[in-house]
Structure 1
Amino acid sequence: MSSIELKNIVKKYGDGFPAVNDVSLDIADGEFMILVGPSGCGKSTLLRMVVGLEDITSGDLLINGKRVNDLAPRDRNLSMVFQNYALYPHLTVGENIAFPLRLAKGQHSEEEIKSKVQAAADMLELNEHLERKPANLSGGQRQRVAMGRAIVRDADAFLFDEPLSNLDAKLRGQMRTEIARMQRRLGITTIYVTHDQTEAMTLGDRVAVLKKGVLQQCASPRELYEQPINLFVAGFIGSPPMNFLPARVDGDTLHLPFVDVLMDGDLAAKVKGKDLVIVGLRPEHIKDASLGDKIDGVTFTPNVDQTEWLGNEQYAYIPFEADSAVRDKLEELDRDLDGEGMRTQMIVNLDSRSRVLEGDDAELIFDPSLMHVFDPESGDNLTRDDDKAAEIARDSEQQRKAALDRAKALEAKSSNTPAHAGGRDRDGGSSRAS
C-alpha cells in the first residue's frame, strides 16, 4: 500500500494550453480518491500522469514520499484498470489474470501464479469462467477480469479510468458495489476517474472536483453536498442538480422569482453592497405544504408546468424567467456542467404522497436556512460554514479509518476459517475452477 502526493502538477501540450493546471492532492494510504468533472476537465490526463503514461510538465509526483516523475510506468508498481478492459482476446480468463505475473519472468513460480489467480477469482466470483475467452463474457464479467488482473500484481495502488462507462445502468450499480467491497477488503490506495457524480458520491472517501484543469474542491461526498465551495461544485454534485435562482437584494430581504425571503443578520451582512445574488436550493428541500408536514419556512404558490411520478418520489418542473443580470452567468455555468442550454426551470423533488399535477398551482414550502447564496461574479458560496465543513471532514476521516479496520478484521477472520471446496456463484449455487 502507499500514499500518493501531487504537488502543483501541470500538464501542457504543444499549444501551451494547460490541460491540468497546478493541481495538488495528498492521497492517504488506503484512501479511495475520486477524480470527477465534466468532459475535458483533465481528470483522465491527471490519472495518466500518475501512472506514467503522460509526462508531467511541472510539479512533483511522490509515491510513499519518493519522487517518481521520471520513473517508467512499470517501475511505479501501480495497477491500472482501463475503460475498455484491455483484455487479450486469445487468452482465457485465467491467463488474462495471470498475464502481469508471467510478464515478470522468473519472479513468480507456477504454483504462486496459480495461487494468486485462484485468490483473485474467488474474490471476484470468476471461478466458473477461468477457462472461457473474453468474447464469451458479459461486460460486467470482463470488468471483473480486468480487476482480477490488477489484484494479482500486489501493486501499491489501483488506478481506474472510467471503468463502468461501457456498462448499462443496472450493471454499473452492481459493479460499484464490487469495487467498493474489493477496495475495502484489500485496503489499497485507489484513484478512480469518472464523469458520473453518482459513482463519485457512492464510492469515494474523498472527491476531487475538476473544472478546465483546475481543482475546485477536494472533500468528502457529504461536505461537497452540504458545504460546496462555489457555484460549479454545487451544480455538479447532486441529482437532480441544485436549483439556481436569481435574487434581488433589498436590505434584509431577498426577492426570488416566486417568493421573498427575510435574511438573518449574518447573511444580510455577507450580501451587503450587492444588488443581486444567486440562491441555490436543493430539489429535495422544497416540500408540498398541503401534506401537512411540520416545516418552518416560507411558502409560495407557483404554477407547475410538468410532473414526473416515479413511485417513491415525484418531480415537479416550474419554469421561471432569469434576471437578465445573471442570465449569462447561469448559461455559462450550464455549459461548464455539460448542459444543453434548456430553459430555466426549478425542479422540486416531492414526496410520493403529493397529488400535485401539471397545471396546478402548488403550495410549496422550504426552510431558508437550507439555502446556499452565491456571489454571481466570483461564484463563491457566501453561506459556506467553514466550521461545519471541518467537522464533516473529521467525521468522514474517522468513518474511513473505521471501515478499513472492519474490513481488515473480517479479512483476518475469513483467512482463519477453513476453505470450502469450490466457491459460490451469484445465485447461491456451487462453482469450482475448471
Structure 2
Amino acid sequence: MASITLRNIVKQYGDGFPAVNDVSIDIADGEFIILVGPSGCGKSTLLRMIVGLEDITAGDLLINDVRVNDKAPRERNLAMVFQNYALYPHLTVFENIAFPLRLAKKKHSEEEIRQKVTEAARTLELTDHLERKPANLSGGQRQRVAMGRAIVREADAFLFDEPLSNLDAKLRGQMRSEISQMQRRLGVTSVYVTHDQTEAMTLGDRVAVLKKGELQQIASPRELYEQPVNLFVAGFIGSPSMNFLPATPAGDRLRTPIGDIPVAADKLQTVQGRQVVLAGIRPEHFEDATLVDEAKRPQGHTFSTELTHSEWLGNEQYGYISFEAEPEIHRLLANLAREMDADELRPQIVVTLDAASRIRGGRPAELWVDTSKLQLFDPETGINLTRDAEAGRELTAEADAARKEEIGLARERQGVPVQG
C-alpha cells in the first residue's frame, strides 16, 4: 500500500498551455480519492502523470515519501484500470488476469499464479468465467477482469481512468458498489478519474474538484456539498444544481426574485456594502408550503409563485420557476455554465417537492424555502461569503474516521490483521 503526494504539480505543453497548474494533494495510505471536473479540466492528465505516462513539467510526485518524477511506470508499482479495459481478446479471463504475473518471468511459480488468479476471481465473482474470452463477457464482467489484473499485481495503488463510462446507467450503479466494496476490502490506495459527479459523491473519501487545470477544493463529498468554497464547486456538485438568485441587501432582508427573504444577521454581515450578491439555494431546501411542519416553518420563508411545469419521478418531483434577471446576471450564469461544461444556466429556479404535493405547472402555488441553508456568493470572484470553514473541516474529519473504521471492519471480516 502507498501514500501519494503531489506537490505543486504542473503540466505544460509545447504551446505553453498549463493543462495542470500548481496542484498539491496529499493522498493517505488506503484512501479513495476522486478527481472530478468538466471536460478538459486536467483530471486525466493528472492521473497519467501519477502513473508515469505523462512527464511532469514542474513540482514533485512522491510515493511513500520517495520522489518518483523520473521513474518509469513499471518502477512505480501502480496498477491502471483503463476506460476501454485493455484486455487481450485472444486470451481467456484466467490468462488476462495472470498476464502481469507472467511478465515478471520466473518471479512466480505456476502454483503461485494459479493461487493469485483464483483468489482475485473469487473476490470479483469471476470464478465461473475463467475459461471464457473477453468477447463473450458483458461490459461489467470485462471491467472486473481489468480490476482482477490490477489486484494480482499487488500494486501499491490503483488508478482508475473513467472505468465505468462505457457501461449503461444500471450497470454503472452496480459497478460503483462493487468498486467501493472491493476498495474497502483491500484497503488499497485508489485514485479515480470521472466527469460523473454521482460517481464522485458515492465513491470518494475525498473529492478533488478541478477547473481549467487548477484545484478548486478537495474535501469529503459532504463538505463539498454543504460548504463549497466557491460558485463553481457549488454549481458543479449536486444534481439538480444549486439555484443562484440575484439578491440585493435591504435592511435585515435580501431582495430576491422570490420576495424579500429574512436572513440571519451573521450572513447579512458578510454582504454589507455590496450592491448585489448571488444567493445559492439547493432544490431540496424548497417545499410545498402546505406540507411543511409548523415547528419548522419559522426557520424559512413562504412565497407565492407559479411553476412553468413540473416533473413527477415517483419518489419526488421537480418544479420549475422562471424569473426575470438583469443582463449582468444572464452573463454571470452563462459564464458559469461554460466553466461547468454544462447546458445554459437560465434565470430559473428548480425546486424538489414531495411526491405527495399537488402543485402543478400553470397554477398559483405557495412554496416554502429553508433560509437557514442559504449561501451567499460574490458574483465577480465567485467566493462563498458564508462558508463555515471549521464546520467543513469537521465534516471531512468525520468522513476520514468513518473510512478507517470501514477498512478495519472489512479486514476483520476477511480475517486480515488490522494494522494500527
For the aligned pair, the TM-score class normalised by the smaller chain equals over 0.9
> What amino acid is aligned across from residue 382 of structure 2 in structure 1?
G
Does the 8 A contact of 2:264 with 2:372 survive in 1? no
Root mean square deviation of aligned Cα: 1.1
Q: Which residue of 2 aligns with 1:420?
A: none
Unmatched runs of 5 consecutive residues or more in structure 1? 415-434
* In 2, Cα distance between equivalents of 1:285 and 1:342: 19
* Separation in 1, partners of 2:95, 2:211: 40
- Shift, 1:345, TM fit: 1.2
Q: Secondary structure, in 3 states, of the residue corresponding to 2:91?
A: coil
Q: State yes or no: 1:372 paired with 2:375.
A: yes
Report matched runs for 1:356-371 at 5 Å: 356-371=359-374
Corresponding residue for residue 224 of structure 2: 224
What does residue 424 of structure 1 align with? Answer: none
Cα distance, 1:329 vs structure 2: 1.4
TM-score by length of 1: 0.94
User: Is 1:355 aligned to residue 389 of structure 2?
Assistant: no
Contact kept in structure 2, 1:161 and 1:194, CA below 8 Å: yes
1:309 aligns with 2:324: no
Matching residue within 396, 404, 414 for 2:399: 396
Instruction: Report if the CA contact (8 A) 1:250-1:275 is conserved.
Output: no
Distance in 1 separating the partners of 2:64 and 2:76: 11
The residue correspondences of 1:234-245 to structure 2 (distance < 5 A) are 234-245=234-245
Matched residue, 2:257: 257
Matched, 1:406 2:414: no
Alpha-carbon shift at residue 253 of structure 1 (Å): 2.1
Percent sequence identity over aligned pairs: 67
**Equivalent runs, 1:94-133 vs 2, <5 Å:** 94-133=94-133
Q: CA deviation at 1:342?
A: 5.2
For 2:183 and 2:38, how far apart are their aligned partners in 1?
25
CA deviation after TM superposition for structure 1 residue 265, in Å: 2.2
* Residues 333, 345 of structure 2: 8 Å contact kept: no
The CA deviation at 1:268 is: 1.9
Task: Work out the CA distance in 2 between the residues paired with 1:290 and 1:58.
Answer: 58
Cα offsets for 1:327-356 (capped at 9, x unmatched) = 211110011111222532111010001011
Cα distance change, pair 254–342 in 1 and its aligned pair in 2 (3 A)? closer
> Structure 2 matches for 1:286-325, cutoff 5 A?
286-294=286-294, 295=296, 296=298, 297-325=300-328
Residue 59 in structure 1 maps to residue 59 in structure 2: yes
Distance in 2 (alpha carbons) for counterparts of 1:6 and 1:319? 44
Q: Report whether the alignment pairs 1:37 with 2:40.
A: no
State the 4+ residue runs in structure 1 displaced beyond 4 angstroms: none
The answer to whether structure 1 residue 386 and structure 2 residue 392 are counterparts is no
2:337 — aligned with what?
Answer: 334
Whichever residue aligns with residue 403 of structure 1, its letter is E
Give the residue type in structure 1 aligned to 2:53. Answer: L
Deviation for aligned residue 1:29: 0.3
Q: Distance in 2 between matches of 1:58 and 1:342?
A: 36
Any conservation in 2 of the 1:49–1:55 contact (CA below 8 Å)? yes
Deviates more, 1:190-199 or 1:246-255: 246-255
Shift of 1:292: 4.3
Deviation sequence 1:148-171 (CA, Å, 0-9, x none): 001000000000000000000000
Q: Which amino acid aligns with 1:128?
A: D
Cα deviation, residue 250, structure 1: 2.2
* CA distance in 2 between partners of 1:387 and 1:212 (Å): 27
| Secondary structure in 2 matching 1:301 | strand
* Superposed CA offset, 1:163-213 (max 9, x none): 000000000000001100110000000000000000000000000000000
TM-score (ref. length: structure 2): 0.97
AA of the residue aligned to 2:231: L
CA distance in 2, matches of 1:66, 1:19: 25
SS across alignment from 1:318: strand
Residues of 1 paired with 2:416 and 2:25: CA distance?
Answer: 34
Shift of 1:368: 1.1
Distance 1:146 1:367, change over 3 A: same
C-alpha separation in 2, matches of 1:193 and 1:343 = 29
SS at match of 2:160: strand
